[in-house]
Amino acid sequence: MTLDPRLVRDGFGRFATGVTVVSCAAPDGTPHGATVNAFTAVSLEPALCQVTLTRTSKAGGYLTDAPFAVNILSAKQQHVAWHFAGKPQERPPEWAHGPTAPVLLGNAATISCRPWRVYDGGDHVLVLGEVADIEFGSAEPLLFFGGRFHELGTVDSQPHWVASMDCPEASWFGLPSDVAFSRIPA
């Protein structure tokens, strides 16, 4: 059974994501970027992350065995997201030299990667990078949900552990706070 591509796109769009620009050097050495929200952490050891790019995109072709950076955009960089999504803006993005590839300035975080593996992903290419460097500051991230950009907002003023049995302040699983896991009888 084949699903309607619009239905698939709308369903996937119900998952809120961050917004990134994957950047690399084009064959002539100039910086190149593509707006991507299909980004994920893959592994801590080794440190790996994945970006998913449209197979027909220039960036998808540039990333075969090439270093790249994942620029996690800040809430103030919506114009950068539009610029690299094919809608050039009046204010051009600001570039800098990164540890592995060109990076954008003003990001919430920047993850510089060495090439690891490239896999077939249907009409996309799955690109895994080995993390060489990470830089981040205090800027809030830009979010994408339901076909629109968003910013973080406060959902609940309660600490996130309050309703959890794993609340460290209330002692994990109701044990006295001075009991270490190594002393719990089997």
Question: Is residue 77 situated within a structural domain?
Answer: yes
Question: Is residue 51 situated within a structural domain?
Answer: yes
Give the burial string for 86-119 (b: 16+ CB within 10 Å, else e).
Answer: eeeeeeebeeeebebbbbbeebbbbbbbbbbebe
- Distance CA(10)–CA(53), nearest Å, equals 18
Which residue type does 46 have? P
pLDDT at 183: 39
pLDDT at 12: 80
Question: Is residue 164 situated within a structural domain?
Answer: no
Report which of 53, 49, 55, 67 is spatially closest to residue 115, judged by C-alpha positions: 67
- Distance CA(19)–CA(74), nearest Å, equals 8
Question: Is residue 144 situated within a structural domain?
Answer: yes
What is the domain-level CATH number for residue 127? 2.30.110.10
Report which of 170, 174, 96, 162 is spatially closest to residue 135, judged by C-alpha positions: 96
Q: List all residues 6 or more positions away from 180 whose beta carbon is below 8 Å from its beta carbon.
A: none
pLDDT at 185: 42
pLDDT at 164: 61
Question: Is residue 61 situated within a structural domain?
Answer: yes
pLDDT at 11: 84
Residues 44/45/47/52 CA torsion (nearest 10 deg):
-80
User: How many domains are contained in the chain?
Assistant: 1
- pLDDT tens by residue, the chain, 186 residues: 788 888 888 888 787 889 999 999 998 999 999 999 899 999 999 999 999 998 888 887 888 889 999 999 999 999 999 999 999 889 889 999 999 999 999 999 999 999 999 999 998 999 999 999 999 989 999 999 888 989 988 766 565 655 565 665 555 555 555 544 443 444
CA angle at 143 for the pair 140 and 148, rounded to the nearest 5°? 140
pLDDT at 182: 41
Name the pTM for this structure.
0.80
